[in-house]
Structure 1
């Protein structure tokens, strides 16, 4: 099952590339700056959070002695992967619904649609990730040895996004309310993710909510990799890997079962 999916994706890499380019360029045809607007939006959002929380609020906060670097880089390292995840899941619910004409074509490899959706998000956020790494390297406390694990982290992150996108994209045509649920959940989830604050700042009674939020583990892994420069959240790495593999296998299983019926409900 997994090998078949991989073969389809490998055979259609050129098609996925074209779909990603169409996704990025399509919505800004005729604009003066063209597809640059796609890259500007996440940078502006991250920059705004850095200004408000890192500069304005951060200047009035005191961090612990074990806190390396500055609060601004902490926000940047935690917020960037969360925003990418939020963007990917927001697009996931429409991966098949917005391409109904392609799904109904018998010969079209619809496996490429969720993969192209995730790849487009990674391409869009590539400049923001470059800003995150550069800022930490030049203005933070530098990068530690754990930064060598960044390719692995990005790979697991991509696998997690593809798995969740498969799950959401194949269930949304049958349960349309999922789209609204995902929108609300991602809006609320951010405030229960330790991306813009330290877990120690959360009252003890509410701190378990951080561990119930699966996206907290994603943020902790990125913080270990790029902010702390060492593994401080070992359990988060295990959870992150388990979530990535589990979500991908669950999404692939659901996709295989639902695929024959997608064309009938779209």
Structure 2
């Protein structure tokens, strides 16, 4: 019974901290949570104009008539996945540094703090997802039954994000330079992942290397279930789920392993 009560208390604490984190990011702004939609939309508009009008890029398999709209929806799918991961990479190394007061409290469950960042980034992704579904229903290919598989596709993304958050939070607490490296990594990941282009557009000799990037499968599968009406491949999903679960366990273990020294460096 005590374990159940403790679990319920931590769940309530996690929800409260996540809500505060989301609200705190837009505190004092006129649009509030609206920025989680407006920001990606402005970037999407910029990318679409540059690639379709300036560079005359076209997405393979999309007709000329639906070129701009199709391109925008495909890119926006990739931006949702990349945006979630990029936010984790950028914010996790300073998760404890920004809230060092919690470290001094012996009874506070510190592993929850990286989880708060992952969930807050997930809230932004879900808001963007709702916009994508509306746009696709009105301007794109419509709603597909395969969209109900998206939670399965994003489950490895969640576990991958948790594993990285625990690792980067622990490392970033001791090595402050980690925050600078992850900022660069988030930007590099935008171009090293099939966000602005399909994986099929990559030269054949580079594709094996691209598929080592876990975002490749996550982005391509998100597009498949939402925009193309295709179900995810079970074998690849099981592989992604297994690898991301291992990373999540390892990240949690590493965080707990080095947790005792946090107070000494903050």
> Smaller-chain TM-score range?
0.7 to 0.9
Deviation at 1:193, TM superposition (A): 0.9
Q: Which residue of 2 aligns with 1:257?
A: 257
Aligned equivalents of 2:240, 2:186: Cα separation in 1: 18
Deviation at 1:235, TM superposition (A): 5.6
Deviation at 1:130, TM superposition (A): 0.7
Deviation at 1:257, TM superposition (A): 0.8
Deviation at 1:125, TM superposition (A): 2.8
Question: What CA RMSD, in Å, does the superposition of the two structures yield over aligned residues?
Answer: 2.8
Deviation at 1:146, TM superposition (A): 2.3
Q: Which residue of 2 aligns with 1:18?
A: 16
Listed as ranges, the gaps of 5+ residues in structure 1 are none
Q: Which residue of 2 aligns with 1:61?
A: 58
Q: Give secondary structure in 2 for the equivalent of 1:216.
A: helix
Aligned equivalents of 1:58, 1:138: Cα separation in 2: 27
Q: Give secondary structure in 2 for the equivalent of 1:12.
A: helix
1:30 aligns with 2:28: yes
Aligned equivalents of 2:221, 2:133: Cα separation in 1: 14
Q: Give secondary structure in 2 for the equivalent of 1:176.
A: coil
1:193 aligns with 2:193: yes
Aligned residue runs from structure 1 range 30-179, under 5 A: 30-53=28-51, 55-56=52-53, 61=58, 63-64=60-61, 70-179=70-179
Q: Is the contact between residue 153 and residue 221 of structure 1 (CA under 8 Å) also seen in structure 2?
A: yes
Deviation at 1:202, TM superposition (A): 2.0
Change (3 A) 1:204 1:7: farther
Aligned equivalents of 1:203, 1:255: Cα separation in 2: 39
Q: How many residues align?
A: 260
Q: Give the TM-score taking structure 1 as reference length.
A: 0.84
**Comparing 150-159 and 86-95, the one that deviates more:** 150-159
Q: Give the TM-score taking structure 2 as reference length.
A: 0.84
Aligned equivalents of 1:50, 1:196: Cα separation in 2: 9
Listed as ranges, the gaps of 5+ residues in structure 2 are none
Q: Is the contact between residue 155 and residue 241 of structure 2 (CA under 8 Å) also seen in structure 1?
A: no
Aligned equivalents of 1:228, 1:240: Cα separation in 2: 21
Aligned equivalents of 1:60, 1:38: Cα separation in 2: 27
1:226 aligns with 2:223: no
Change (3 A) 1:47 1:15: farther
Deviation at 1:58, TM superposition (A): 8.2
Change (3 A) 1:111 1:52: same
**Comparing 143-152 and 20-29, the one that deviates more:** 20-29
Aligned equivalents of 1:81, 1:63: Cα separation in 2: 20
Aligned equivalents of 1:240, 1:8: Cα separation in 2: 31
Aligned equivalents of 1:244, 1:28: Cα separation in 2: 31
Q: Is the contact between residue 42 and residue 125 of structure 1 (CA under 8 Å) also seen in structure 2?
A: no
